[in-house]
Structure 1
């Protein structure tokens, strides 16, 4: 697994030169500098700055603990939905549950900065690792042979961030390594242009477009925590799955094609025990397609599964190897979605009840009162091993974060078949029932072909992928996020209400609008 390497690039603005403490000539003559730089790109999804757990953060304007990439992304994807409510009163956080955010919200601003920090880092790596520069610098033949794969990985990470930017903000600027830094502000691109760029990059680095040597390792051949062609196929399938939202075009047949490649590869298999995917020894789960490794000693920060584990617990946290930050609960809409025999929300080390219910009401009576305001607890990410042993410390989690896993592929395939993308209806049913059999410990939870419809898929995605960072995108794709769906406390009222349809996209932050006069604010803001 790559570890955090050089960290001398700290720019957030994609149009300016990164700030450096070392010259290009001095750094890149060293052969190992390229893999170290690549390590920094992967670390950008994980750590928050140049030292841990806090200090010298990559982005400013927000508490560094909040600024971790996947914590921000998770908050954008989960807190405005039926799946999660947080009790904290930090500036701007309740606006996410209320659907009342604006361009000055610190969380949406930090998410924008984090996305384009990753883009700028990836662009800089690609600028500094061309074949001509490696030859001019006298780098060894061995490193010159390896760098094309490194470049493919950097392009994957850039595509991942651009997908997040497209999904969350819509028509962002599109900046590549060819952009002249320090020149005019980058122009805003359309959603269709960004979609096409992500698609073309992923096709290139999987060898689909036959465009050169910069190709990811074959599916299943990457070092754990790094991208291979399976991760790229998954990102392509995600892009195509949500194409109606991004471009107005149905690409369900492409979803079928790329999920079949993953399913038929024989590389991945469902974890026998659902909960083992979310414990401190979940590294190298056979179900993980792409994961962000966490280590309580070496990736110390207050985001990722450290946040998800601690924030979902109160006084009982020690049995889960954590401290408990008294923050996250779920709504009754989620609780009511599970059958009483469904084992997915029955977490190890509890008394056996679904969720943590003791002393709590199912209904949330107060958002800001964690202890007495109701809402069942969801200790999904537990800092204990499958044998019950605690992680290396009780603050920073050892639980790896699953960005993409095989269960999602099962559900994506089934949804694409139902949307007319081809494939096999019988196979779609079998794939869904594979998940149901694991969830129910046998066939008692299996459904029939007649019961497999899109409404079922949306609910099953919530049951299977609860708190994994998919819910907002799913609700938008099913047209239930803003002006149609209702759940407890949506829109800031206990019974819930519909909200304005323009909130399917977040606003561009004022800071970016001021910095880039070519950027037009999303409608409604």
Structure 2
């Protein structure tokens, strides 16, 4: 068994790299860092290979576990499409199992990332940096970046599973799981040490994907912010101190973007709000999974693009089949209607040319850029498509059909149609005429708005709702013409649910919703559309995958999943 587990994880990670093989490569009888690295470029390639994995890691299965298990998104069955053996319903209803693929993908992807970062760290730590006209400080910063990246992977693993095997080298047996507290302490140690050696982000500098002092501090603040959920120990004061220091530019120079789209646009590497992002140049296909999941087969005509899609996912509905709002029944969910009227983001997405766009939703009549109707191919074959903020089989209402009136329609996961649900366009998409911009937006991992909201929640929890409201409104005001917010947060209207709404509105689709709900004890204890609370606390963690246990019989399952 020696080295088997760790090396298997590394090998699988390399398979996921989708890299190419250079046929004229030079071979060595003994490959060591000294023989492999020839220039600073080789060093940077080794350093950033684990970061490429990290960009893949924050999407796909990990994103799905964060969002499709929570209240803002769903993949409904649409006629003959998307039942998928009941998989999507299992996640929505919190009935997943240790055999489900997304869960295995999250466990595997986490340990792949750790293994890749450790492999790079092992190689770079053996180099004499002076031979490459680099300094010992450069080497320390590179190694600290990798430590912080390991902490990032483990932090996500702690969030998903609790304790995981902690390893600090690629030498060793298949390891058992460490406890939640041991993993928490390992992450804390890595980040605290990295902060002392990482450089500050320069004022006005572009984000290039490296982990700076501010990014490591923000990750540590995240750890403390969710510590009560992770290890049963509230650490909001520690999170508050770090968040305030980041806002005070003690860990680098950051400021809120003045435009709502700034942190997500084609030039978001220049946004002063970005604390850490993944450059799109690493692998420009990383957003394709999101496009395929969310958009209709014919939405390429809406974008004037050539990409295919599967028409699966959408926002959970804000309205019942009869058009009335769900807000009287559920405090959570209804993501679209949580945006105030007049919010610039609430407009339909429209590409304006030259990298400019407005809105971030697909809603209402589906039209080409020239205003021509786009027709359906399933329930509305040959008919103009109209996307609705509802889930129901409207095509089955009428004389001789399943339902005689809309009032009879059920609304649940099994009742979708091809036009069901609003679609999010958080990442801008240009027309084919400007296709060089496609997926040019970097992927934000941490932005300053999160730190403002973190600080606001910490103040709210300590009894200062007024200051919490001020911090949230500092972010909200950019979403309205001339900053005229029709529904600002106040000390009197701020409670648990308004805070969760604000997290939902600002970070919709950014892969964090489940974590926010768990922090407020809402993930298993609150109802939302077609979801009844399980009241089962063990579901705040996912099971250790059976596939992982099969490959490492020293792993213990999570409580409740035995």
Determine if the TM-score, normalized by the shorter chain, exceeds 0.5: yes
Match status 1:45 vs 2:54: yes
TM-score w.r.t. length of structure 1 = 0.81
Question: Contact 1:13–1:116 (CA<8 Å) still a contact in 2?
Answer: no
1:180 aligned onto 2:162: no
Match in the other structure for 2:17: none
- 467-476 or 509-518, which moves further after superposition? 509-518
Distance 1:174 1:429, change over 3 A: same
Asked which structure has the greater CA Rg, the reply is 2
Matched, 1:311 2:293: yes
Alpha-carbon separation, structure 2, partners of 1:146 and 1:110: 34
Change in 2 beyond 3 A, CA 1:393/1:142: closer
What SS class does the counterpart of residue 249 from structure 1 fall into? coil
Name the CA distance, whole Å, in 2 between partners of 1:272 and 1:12.
51
Distance 2:489 2:207 in 1: 37
Q: Deviation of residue 445 (structure 1)?
A: 2.9
DSSP 3-state at the match of 2:493: coil
Question: Following the alignment from structure 2 to structure 1, what is the Cα–Cα distance between the partners of residues 266 and 415?
Answer: 29
Asked if structure 2 preserves the Cα contact closer than 8 Å seen for 1:28 and 1:34, the reply is: no
* 1:214-236 superposed Cα distances (whole Å, 9 cap, x missing partner): x1111447852111011111111
Q: Which residue of 1 aligns with 2:38?
A: 30
Correspondence 1:113 to 2:141: no
More deviation, 335-344/451-460: 335-344
CA gap 1:370/1:12 in 2 versus in 1, 3 angstroms: farther
CA offset digits 1:458-486 (Å, max 9, x no partner): 1100011100111000001111112x111
Q: Evaluate the alpha carbon distance shift between residue 142 and residue 504 of structure 1 in structure 2; reply closer, same or farther with a 3 A threshold.
A: same
Following the alignment from structure 2 to structure 1, what is the Cα–Cα distance between the partners of residues 244 and 4? 38
Would you say 1:357 and 2:403 are equivalent positions?
no
Shift of 1:104: 0.9
Q: Is the 8 A contact 1:77 1:471 kept in 2?
A: yes
Q: For residue 237 of structure 2, what is the aligned residue in structure 1?
A: 253
Contact 1:311 1:324 in 2 (8 A): no
Q: What displacement does 1:29 show?
A: 4.5
Number of the residue aligned with 1:59:
none
8 Å Cα contact 1:308/1:381 also seen in 2: no
- RMSD over aligned Cα atoms: 3.0
Post-superposition CA distance 1:421-464 (Å, at most 9, x none):
x8x75543222111221223323332322223332111100011
Change (3 A) 1:317 1:413: farther
Distance apart, 1:194 and its partner CA:
0.7
Q: What residue in structure 2 maps to residue 193 of structure 1?
A: 182
Structure 1 residues 381 and 94: alpha-carbon distance in aligned structure 2, compared to 1, 3 A threshold: farther
Q: CA deviation at 1:334?
A: 1.5
Q: What is the aligned partner in structure 2 of residue 508 from structure 1?
A: 544
Secondary structure of residue in 2 paired with 1:445: coil
Please show how residues 464-479 of structure 1 align to structure 2 within 5 Å. Answer: 464-479=506-521
Map Cα deviations across residues 468-511 of structure 1 (whole Å, 9 max, x no partner).
111000001111112x1111233xxxxx4536332111111112
Q: How does 1:340-379 map to 2 (within 5 A)?
A: 340-349=341-350, 355-358=362-365, 359-365=386-392, 367=413, 371-372=417-418, 374-379=420-425
What SS is found at the alignment partner of 2:95? coil
2:505 is matched with 463
1:158 Cα offset (Å): 0.5
Q: Tell me, what secondary structure is at the counterpart of 1:519?
A: coil
Match of 2:472 in 1: 432
- Could you state the TM-score of these two structures normalised by the residue count of structure 2? 0.76
Judge conservation of contact 1:80–1:472 (CA < 8 Å) in 2: yes
Q: Kindly indicate whether the alpha-carbon contact (under 8 Å) linking 2:349 and 2:362 is maintained by their aligned counterparts in 1.
A: no
Counterpart-to-counterpart distance in 2, 1:377 and 1:226? 31
Cα distance in 1, alignment partners of residues 4 and 315 from structure 2: 34
Deviation at 1:255, TM superposition (A): 1.2
Deviation for aligned residue 1:145 = 4.8
Matches within 5 A, 1:87-236: 87=76, 88-90=82-84, 92-130=87-125, 133-135=126-128, 139-140=131-132, 142=134, 144-177=136-169, 180-181=171-172, 184-207=173-196, 215-220=197-202, 224-236=208-220
TM alignment of 1:382-461, pairs within 5 A = 382-384=428-430, 390-392=434-436, 397-420=439-462, 426-441=466-481, 442-443=483-484, 444-461=486-503
2:74 to 81, 85, 91: 85
Q: Is the 8 A contact 1:69 1:114 kept in 2?
A: no
Residue 517 of structure 1 aligns with which residue?
Answer: 553
2:459 touches 2:467 (CA, 8 Å); kept in 1?
no
1:270 equivalenced with 2:256 (yes/no): yes
In structure 2, distance between residues paired with 1:516 and 1:354: 44
Q: Which structure 2 residue ranges, 5 or more long, are not aligned?
A: 15-26, 77-81, 319-333, 352-357, 366-385, 393-411
Matched residues in 2 for 1:128 and 1:243: separation?
33
The total of aligned residue pairs comes to: 466
Q: Is the 8 A contact 1:275 1:347 kept in 2?
A: no
**Deviation for aligned residue 1:17:** 8.9
Per-residue CA deviations over 1:108-134 (Å, capped at 9, x if unaligned) read: 11111111011011112222233xx32
Kept after mapping to 2: 8 A contact 1:224/1:284: no
Residues 1:486 and 2:527 aligned together: yes
Match of 2:382 in 1: none
